[in-house]
């Protein structure tokens, strides 16, 4: 299964989700991330957090949803803006779900407060990814309606 984590800028949340999913997922499952309006860079705090968590950051970059290496089997929007956008035709009628997470790049305050916003976003995404990875591997194929309900409910989980 190929999962696309989609956000507007593809610099924070979707990058955190891509790297976390790929580190935790079993063979045969892969994540990619993209943005509808890519920022052109990955936020340094995202990269630092991933490195602290022991995840590889090589090859992570802000990319457009029109430059995907493969068609996803599931699209997970992680920001409200991307959730409301119409996906390009190339993505077809792929199942979608929304796992909204506050944008840590918009956090203000001290360095510690901003870092805490990034950690919170990461923890929420990780909890949801871990829940997703407990779903039966063939659920999407076997019972698409039950799969949709399950992935939608996962979006309601907090850290």
- Among candidate residues 79, 91, 125, 129, the one labeled active-site is 79
- Annotated catalytic residue 79: yes
* H helix intervals, the chain: 13-24, 44-52, 80-83, 111-132, 139-142, 144-154
- Annotated catalytic residue 12: no
Residue 41 exposure: Cα atoms within 13 Å on the Cβ side:
4
CA distances from 137 to 1, 74, 116, 134, 141 (A): 9, 13, 33, 8, 9
- Among candidate residues 7, 49, 60, 140, the one labeled active-site is 7
CA angle 120, 94, 5 (to 5 degrees): 20
**Measuring CA to CA, which residue among 152, 157, 61, 50 is closest to residue 104?**
50
Phi and psi for 39 in degrees, rounded to 5?
Answer: -70, -25
- Among candidate residues 3, 50, 82, 87, the one labeled active-site is 87
How far is the C-alpha of 63 from the C-alpha of 127, rounded, in Å?
25
Q: Which residues are catalytic?
A: 7, 79, 87
């Amino acid at each position: 299964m190929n999962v696309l984590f989609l956000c507007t800028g593809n610099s924070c949340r979707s990058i955190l989700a891509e790297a976390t999913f790929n580190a935790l997922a079993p063979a045969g499952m892969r994540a990619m991330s993209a943005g509808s309006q890519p920022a052109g860079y990955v936020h340094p705090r995202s990269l630092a957090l991933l490195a602290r968590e022991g995840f590889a950051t090589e090859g992570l970059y802000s990319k457009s949803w029109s430059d995907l290496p493969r068609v996803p089997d599931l699209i997970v929007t992680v920001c409200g803006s991307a959730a409301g956008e119409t996906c390009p035709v190339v993505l077809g009628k792929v199942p979608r779900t929304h796992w909204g997470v506050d944008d840590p790049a918009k956090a203000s305050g001290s360095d510690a407060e901003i870092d805490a916003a990034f950690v919170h976003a990461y923890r929420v995404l990780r909890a949801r990814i871990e829940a997703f990875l407990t779903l039966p591997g063939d659920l999407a194929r076997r019972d698409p309606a039950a799969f949709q309900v399950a992935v939608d409910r996962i979006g309601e989980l907090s850290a």
